[in-house]
Structure 1
């Protein structure tokens, strides 16, 4: 009799813990409905932040922006062109960033850390796309080296010959690298701070010195890149999604590593191939751009 009662109690407890198929489907629907709100809020927050930054740069970025640009540009000259070539060399400027990312990725088989990093990579892509999109669709200010009214020292006159984006806010290169530095900072504070310093000195400031961007363009990228990464990190759904993906691919991690290599190789070249593919698709489909 006691055995029968114990068996009944065990079976009833199992039934109470394990949901039925109907309950599980209801739970899935509820999860999707509750998770959609944070995702929508995340996208709206990023777009709103970028719109505000563009309008702020357009209205406030006036005399101080121009004065600081000219002051920094006074250091540019024809004989300093090697400085620009070094700062714009993909291997030199990107080595500390991509080395740190790969070191963090392969520092043990930590699924949670890798899911966070994958979430950060998506945020980096979104931040870069938004920065390029803003240059096309928001008339903030013309790129300094294309503005004949500015008395700039242009180290190479060929820079002003061929441009498809005449507006320069924000700096898409700085956005990309500030976002990657934020990703590193979240995983390792000391290395992340050093990467932030590297991006500011080696990548961002030279783009102002040589007239490619206004200081407000770099300030906008310093807001946009880290904000996208931090907002994505604050939303649990992307991390949970990538963690489930890593669990399913635990016996085929070479696929993930190969995709990571492709992502980092294109990111090191500022997603030039991806940008060209997007432009070709826009022309092919006849969409306005």
Structure 2
């Protein structure tokens, strides 16, 4: 299936430079990826303030579940068998992306493509929204598929099975983290902190959502800097 999909896409990648550039921009832009999804979560956070509503519990559980899912995905990237990304796989038909330069980051050539951490993160967040609002969640699933998952397949960053595995992992982790029995493990402590320190709690939560929405970019840069300069 992977080879069939990638071979079929090869006929389109050399047709339009503007289209390739638009897809490339969308694929790398936080404005199209994490930020609108985080804005939607904050919308529900401030909309459903009634104590009888469990929206805030679901949002916190979703954030916890998505972080766990990404951690598992990263672990699978590191310990699983190496699978080169489609554009770096010599066994596949070479795709010519007219209008685009070759990827600059060497990490893209050596990093395992399975599973997709993008799919893991954003399908997990969409699951949390779905548990709050069926309509909004369904639309968000569609948005994640069109604007986040498909561009990464088209650009040769992931195989379809990378996306499917990441989506399954993200959905499963949030489905588990939002169960009532799991929420009881930390829900009371979160409620206590929110009621006692509402401004500080929400400020910290805002920073966390920004980092999640940008795929932990600043955290990753910090860790890479520490590892690079840590004396051995």
Deviation at 1:65, TM superposition (A): 1.2
8 Å contact from structure 2 (residues 34, 212) kept in 1: no
Aligned partner of 1:94 in structure 2 is 34
Aligned partner of 1:83 in structure 2 is 23
Aligned partner of 2:195 in structure 1 is 250
Aligned partner of 2:103 in structure 1 is 159
Distance 2:180 2:111 in 1: 35
Unaligned runs of 5+ in 1: 1-63
Tell me whether 137-146 or 86-95 shows the greater mean CA deviation. 86-95
Aligned partner of 1:132 in structure 2 is 74
Q: Work out whether 1:238 is the aligned partner of 2:180.
A: no
Q: Work out whether 1:69 is the aligned partner of 2:3.
A: no
Corresponding residue pairs, total: 223
8 Å contact from structure 1 (residues 93, 202) kept in 2: yes
8 Å contact from structure 1 (residues 100, 191) kept in 2: no
TM-score by length of 1: 0.70
Paired residues for 1:265-280 under 5 Å: 265-279=210-224
Distance 1:153 1:256 in 2: 48
Distance 2:5 2:73 in 1: 22
Which structure: larger Rg?
Answer: 1
**Residues 189 and 73 of structure 1, relative CA distance in 2, 3 Å threshold:** farther
**Residues 81 and 215 of structure 1, relative CA distance in 2, 3 Å threshold:** same
Paired residues for 1:106-185 under 5 Å: 106-111=46-51, 112-155=54-97, 156-159=100-103, 161-163=105-107, 165-185=110-130
Distance 1:285 1:154 in 2: 43
**Residues 134 and 240 of structure 1, relative CA distance in 2, 3 Å threshold:** closer
Q: SS of the residue aligned with 1:149?
A: coil
8 Å contact from structure 1 (residues 73, 211) kept in 2: no
CA RMSD across the alignment? 2.3
Distance 1:261 1:248 in 2: 15
**Residues 285 and 264 of structure 1, relative CA distance in 2, 3 Å threshold:** farther
Aligned partner of 1:34 in structure 2 is none
Deviation at 1:266, TM superposition (A): 1.1
8 Å contact from structure 1 (residues 154, 211) kept in 2: no
Task: Name the structure where helix makes up a greater proportion of residues.
Answer: 1
Deviation at 1:174, TM superposition (A): 1.4
